Structure 1
Amino acid sequence: MGKLKVIKTGPMASLQDFGRFGYRRYGIPRSGAMDKEFMIAANKLVGNPNDYPVIEFALTGMELEVVEETMISVVGADLNVNGERNEIASKVSVGDIIKVSAPTLVYAYLGVGGRMKAQEDFGSVSTYTRARFGGLDGQALANGDQIETEGEPGKICQIPIPGRDQGDVIEIRIMKGPEWDLLKELPSLETFQVDGSSDRMGVRLTGAKLECDYQEIASSAVIPGNIQLPADGHPIILMNDCQITGGYPRIGKVVEEDMWKVAQVRAGGNVKLVLIDA
């Protein structure tokens, strides 16, 4: 058992696990952690199974108070307990004040020993705020929220943390999409910048424009990783909270292993789409 109280948080902190699968036919997005490797690491550090929920936070840090002693871990940000820099995994006691810095990249994860108590919808506690699924009443975390765990916590484990050194230009591997042949030029020749409006639904790429024999298609199924091309020529990479169907040409699909790269590119970062054979 353990309990934390949120003292201060940003607008993009929520509970996430691996997400929902098998429900897109009903209009329900997958959701889930944007960087699964970081989520798994946050769980392993406190001895949890890989699929336990974690706190995902983006762009800004968090401050929490320990209400019942537990173990915590932070991956992708710095951890400070009672004013002192701490190891990324620690046992914390009642009254301790936990501060985690803004993420080094975009998304970071806080793990807590034991399974977090949360609303489960369609096989997952991942928060999807547009339909109020999962998390704490389907909402992003807010000041004053309490996060409780149940079951026996594991133990602090030492594990390697996945590297995230992406360089000046992040190469994203893609495969051809159903409407690839509408393109007049190859995206692998262009460098794009990530737009500041990007979120859990989609990452918008600006800068270079792609030319194509543009035509709206009949509303067709889309999944996370699909690259849609609106009439303005600026691609959109669909992410975990994306819609189920869309009417823009689907020119490509990001390979699953590179989805964390897309999620973790800061606004203004440079992206190059590199075509590979399926």
Structure 2
Amino acid sequence: MGRLSVIKTGPIATVQDFGRFGYRRYGIPQSGAMDRQMMIAANQFVGNPENFPVIEFALMGIELEALEETVISVVGASLKVNGQVKGKCEKVSVGDKVSVSSPMFVYGYLGMGGSIQAKEDFGSVSTYERAGFGGMDGRRLQTGDVLVSNGEGEISVQVDIPTRENAELVTIRIMKGPEWNLLKELPSFESFQVDGSSDRMGIRLTGARLACDYQEIASSAVIPGTIQLPADGQPIILMNDCQTTGGYPRIGKVFVEDLGRLAQMKPGKKVRMVRVEN
């Protein structure tokens, strides 16, 4: 068993696993880690199955104190123990001070050997704040919380960490959506910018207005990766905490494999969408 006490945390740090599946017909979002590949790497470093819960954090890092011997990992940020720089995975002892930096991109992940204990709702411990599902009583981490895992874990060094671009322009692949034909002309999708209002619900893009025979459609199913087009012509790419239905035209869908890369793009970065025939 491992135990870590939260000394300090940033504004956005939550427990996440792969998310909830099979409940969208009841209006329950998927949630789960925004960058699944990084979450998997954090679990692999400590010898866990890929879908075990992790701590996902954004904007700022986390400071913790070990209350019991615990194997921990950090992916997407740097790790210090008692002020000393460490690698991606480390075994900490009682009293050790753990410092995790702000994420290198948008989201970083902290893993613990064994399964982090959290509230389970609808088959997942992923935090969904709007309904109070999962995590630490449905909320973000806060000072004084104690993270408990139910296993020992083991240090692994043979882990592939996914590459995330820090370039000014990142290309993502999309396919046509059900309302693609409402577009007045085939768009170039060149160099939209990630807007600062983006969050776990959706990535808002700004740029050239997409011309569309605009009409609100009957409320229809949407999923993470769906590209909605509001009346202002500025696309919204829905992400993990998105609603289950929507009335904006669904002009496209981002490839699942590219969603983690998209999630890690900071505000101001440019996105080029390339359509792949489907």
**Common topology (TM > 0.5):** yes
What is residue 258 of structure 2 aligned with on the other side?
258
What is residue 209 of structure 1 aligned with on the other side?
209
Would you say the 8 A contact 1:71–1:156 is kept in 2? no
Would you say the 8 A contact 2:174–2:274 is kept in 1? yes
- The alpha carbon displacement at 1:189 in A equals 4.1
Partner Cα distance (1:188, 1:238) in 2? 20
- The alpha carbon displacement at 1:188 in A equals 3.1
Structure 1 residues 259 and 204: CA distance shift in structure 2, 3 A = same
What is residue 170 of structure 1 aligned with on the other side?
170
Query: One-letter code of the match for 2:219?
Result: S
Matched position secondary structure for 1:141: coil
Would you say the 8 A contact 1:187–1:274 is kept in 2? no
Q: Answer yes or no: is 1:116 the counterpart of 2:120.
A: no
What is residue 126 of structure 1 aligned with on the other side?
126
Structure 1 residues 190 and 184: CA distance shift in structure 2, 3 A = farther
- The alpha carbon displacement at 1:166 in A equals 4.9
Query: One-letter code of the match for 2:124?
Result: S
Query: One-letter code of the match for 1:128?
Result: Y
Matched position secondary structure for 1:188: coil
What is residue 188 of structure 1 aligned with on the other side?
188
Partner Cα distance (1:56, 1:228) in 2? 26
Segments of structure 2 that go 5 or more residues without pairing to the other structure are none
Structure 1 residues 108 and 38: CA distance shift in structure 2, 3 A = same
What is residue 275 of structure 1 aligned with on the other side?
275
Would you say the 8 A contact 1:62–1:101 is kept in 2? yes
What is residue 223 of structure 1 aligned with on the other side?
223
- The alpha carbon displacement at 1:64 in A equals 0.8
Q: How does 1:85-124 map to 2 (within 5 A)?
A: 85-124=85-124
How many residue pairs were aligned?
Answer: 278
Structure 1 residues 47 and 54: CA distance shift in structure 2, 3 A = same
Would you say the 8 A contact 1:187–1:273 is kept in 2? no
What is residue 50 of structure 1 aligned with on the other side?
50
Query: One-letter code of the match for 1:143?
Result: T
Structure 1 residues 94 and 187: CA distance shift in structure 2, 3 A = farther
- Render the CA deviation track for 1:98-143: whole Å, top value 9, x for unaligned: 1111111101100011111111111100000100111010111111
Query: One-letter code of the match for 2:245?
Result: T
Partner Cα distance (1:187, 1:261) in 2? 22
What is residue 63 of structure 1 aligned with on the other side?
63
What is residue 235 of structure 1 aligned with on the other side?
235
Matched position secondary structure for 1:68: coil
What is residue 4 of structure 2 aligned with on the other side?
4
Query: One-letter code of the match for 1:32?
Result: G
Would you say the 8 A contact 1:90–1:156 is kept in 2? no
Query: Which 4+ residue blocks in structure 1 deviate beyond 6 angstroms?
Result: none
Would you say the 8 A contact 2:90–2:155 is kept in 1? no
Would you say the 8 A contact 2:72–2:92 is kept in 1? yes
Normalising by structure 2, what TM-score? 0.97
Partner Cα distance (1:94, 1:212) in 2? 60
Partner Cα distance (1:59, 1:79) in 2? 16
Would you say the 8 A contact 1:126–1:135 is kept in 2? yes
Partner Cα distance (2:52, 2:181) in 1? 42
Segments of structure 1 that go 5 or more residues without pairing to the other structure are none
- Render the CA deviation track for 1:53-72: whole Å, top value 9, x for unaligned: 00000121111111111011
Query: One-letter code of the match for 1:180?
Result: W
Normalising by structure 1, what TM-score? 0.97
Partner Cα distance (2:143, 2:188) in 1? 44
Matched position secondary structure for 2:6: strand
